[in-house]
Structure 1
């Protein structure tokens, strides 16, 4: 192959070009990113970077010299407008470029508040990109009043950082409890208590109706009719895979760009990796949004583009940092029918379907997380009574 084009310059895109060179690919290699910055870490954006504890250059995954030394063409601030799988061309700002293989790593986009809620006012934000955080930083000042819309992990992390800075924070969640889509009631209860202990006004079963103001936000009306004085709003209402380019090119879309176990899309010569794609896993199709997944899948897909024929075996794990708490999650909890609580170094919740361990939420309990992760990856399940008994050494569950 004379030219491999990687479209998307996030974690997956950066890993793809690095892995292709590591595996001996010596042809032309280009990396196309819509944002003007070098590929960077996203998790610190809403934490260290927003808190001004981490500079911009520290966010970069690699310095520019890394790409130059490996002869990776960087096309940054250069969104790809079109992809033609039949002709094997992409259209960038300077026109068409031919390729032999293209790998989509376009990631996901934050969901934004609907226009009927915002009314054209300024002062509402999302948390996804460097530009998002650069726009938010001047707004996050001690004593100001923030409304966080959404009680998932992004919303909770935003609330935690805002309280650290000294803002008054109200968080609204339209569903009847926090984390309703991603965690059990016990985990939600634990985090609700944590945030209330830190002064967050949490309101569940109520959402945002409309923002109020003249030009910029001055308040918010909630779905229960309550009106709040508000200076800044952060929406943490999830993300969606960025499939616009793939969809326009006629690729199959199934909750993301559909790929097989090797990373191939429905079009010959086009591959995908990371947040933007869905893939087969244990008899169903899933899509994951996490740094470990983006790295691991990108490594596998890069190998397969070069002929490895290596199936991707996802090992889902995630984390969230809130105040002095590190939440670590192993596995996927879909289909659980029982949650077993264990008190050890911290607190952990173990999800079972019958006798099968599906997932573990570990709050400040790294040992429980590591044991749970090893069990899940090995396809083994511990005795539930032993899990619940804190006097049973955690390692014995292995």
Structure 2
């Protein structure tokens, strides 16, 4: 009898896991459950080109309908899994139906963290996580004159940039003292702040939203200092919550996310997890601390790790994390994680808005942030993957060719060190 792989979550990770399982030789049934009516789609454009109207909706699907048919992947839209019966190896659906599984993968992603204050459910308040959210926000933006963006993270800043490019007046509210406080260096935060203020975006730092109040036929966002910001449109980007309830209700270990090992296996060896919902100890973590990574790269690479394990190819997850963000004419690309860096070097021209920040911890290169320097980003990914160690002086010398580190020295090759 053919084995069945059931994947819960038609996300980046879910679609990649299904495709990779088939590519790696899984010959049984593959069932992909998605609670949205739309097939798996690209999400990064939702806060960028889709919002400005430069990225058409027909470009969003990750895979064609023909792909699912050709690869014998049964995609079930508008289908929600409600319970995992681990003893019977069955997944229960919202309509009471059950599907038996031999292998189960949870790629349930994350949901937006909701605004918690009086007036938070007003129709002017928008979130940006899925295609439905993006459609509603894009329509509202067409007639908006004043927008308030709550949250100075990547989603909030990308939405602010997209709205500003459409001529909307924008104010960003951030509870921290600077932008991107959790993920970016202070130097990069200051640059991103300059990029937005230079284009007319206003900021309120260290402020908390206490209410969304009626105001002159519209609404106003009330802050904890008593001030009010009138708005036609409110965009909330204050983080996400991993969807772990299905896992925890079935007794799987959950610790900040669905806990998995280096092979994407949960505490049940027949159940895997990947993407935004999964928590793991990355190889690059300075103190071996578990974390979740919210990125397309992580979703895809972790899904491949899970698919490999499902077909018996045990290859531990060791991918380098990388990210990107588009704001105005700025392409920010990040390779590695700069947590705990002690020094950094700027390479390139800040004046020309084409530069990179190379971060070091105890003289060791750990991450690179690039602004409009895609060649630096691609090189950084290679250097960090192979463990190359340029010095701060070499990085800071514009005449030094960092590509020399791509190829190990001849003596290392001769000794079989590479």
Normalised by the shorter chain, which TM-score bucket?
Answer: over 0.9
Counterpart position of 1:144: 145
Q: 3-state SS of the aligned residue for 2:195?
A: helix
Matches within 5 A, 1:1-12: 2-12=3-13
Deviation digits for residues 286-335 of structure 1 (CA, Å, limit 9, x no counterpart): 22111111111111211111111111112100000000110000001111
Matches within 5 A, 1:63-82: 63-82=64-83
Give 1:385 shift.
2.1
Matches within 5 A, 1:154-233: 154-213=155-214, 218-233=219-234
Of the structure 1 ranges 34-43 and 205-214, higher mean CA displacement relative to structure 2 is found in 205-214
Of the structure 1 ranges 311-320 and 209-218, higher mean CA displacement relative to structure 2 is found in 209-218
Counterpart position of 2:385: 377
Distance 2:405 2:17 in 1: 37
Q: 3-state SS of the aligned residue for 2:263?
A: coil
Distance 2:324 2:160 in 1: 16
Work out which of the residue numbers 94, 98, 101 in structure 1 matches 2:100.
98
Deviation digits for residues 102-160 of structure 1 (CA, Å, limit 9, x no counterpart): 0011111121211x243542211111100111121221026511001111111110100
Counterpart position of 2:338: 333
Distance 1:256 1:119, change over 3 A: closer
Counterpart position of 1:109: 111
TM-score, normalised via structure 2 length: 0.91
Distance 1:384 1:308, change over 3 A: same
Question: RMSD in angstroms over aligned alpha carbons?
Answer: 1.8
Counterpart position of 1:349: 357
The alignment status of 1:53 with 2:58, answered yes or no, reads no
Work out which of the residue numbers 319, 326, 341 in structure 2 matches 1:321.
326
Counterpart position of 1:291: 296
Give 1:214 shift.
7.2
Distance 1:23 1:229 in 2: 55
The alignment status of 1:311 with 2:316, answered yes or no, reads yes
Give 1:393 shift.
3.9
Distance 1:269 1:215 in 2: 58
Counterpart position of 1:277: 278
Counterpart position of 2:368: 360
TM-score, normalised via structure 1 length: 0.95
Q: 3-state SS of the aligned residue for 2:46?
A: helix
Contact kept? 2:147, 2:233, Cα under 8 Å: yes
Q: Please list every run of 5 or more consecutive structure 1 residues that lacks an aligned counterpart in the other structure.
A: none
Give 1:187 shift.
0.1
Distance 2:216 2:302 in 1: 44
Q: 3-state SS of the aligned residue for 1:281?
A: coil
The alignment status of 1:389 with 2:397, answered yes or no, reads yes
Deviation digits for residues 15-73 of structure 1 (CA, Å, limit 9, x no counterpart): 11111221222211100011110111101111222222233221001121211222211
Q: 3-state SS of the aligned residue for 1:228?
A: strand
Contact kept? 1:163, 1:169, Cα under 8 Å: yes
Distance 2:388 2:371 in 1: 22
Give 1:372 shift.
2.2
Deviation digits for residues 166-203 of structure 1 (CA, Å, limit 9, x no counterpart): 10000011101111110111100110110011110122
Contact kept? 1:170, 1:200, Cα under 8 Å: yes
Distance 1:84 1:188, change over 3 A: same
Distance 2:281 2:379 in 1: 26
Distance 1:43 1:86, change over 3 A: same
Counterpart position of 1:256: 257
Distance 1:378 1:234 in 2: 41
Q: 3-state SS of the aligned residue for 2:51?
A: coil
Contact kept? 1:211, 1:217, Cα under 8 Å: no
Contact kept? 2:257, 2:277, Cα under 8 Å: yes
Give 1:348 shift.
1.5
Distance 2:255 2:121 in 1: 32
Contact kept? 2:215, 2:230, Cα under 8 Å: no
- Any runs of at least 4 consecutive aligned residues in structure 1 with deviations exceeding 4 A, and if so which? 214-217
Q: 3-state SS of the aligned residue for 1:162?
A: helix
Deviation digits for residues 200-241 of structure 1 (CA, Å, limit 9, x no counterpart): 012222232211117995111112222111111111111121
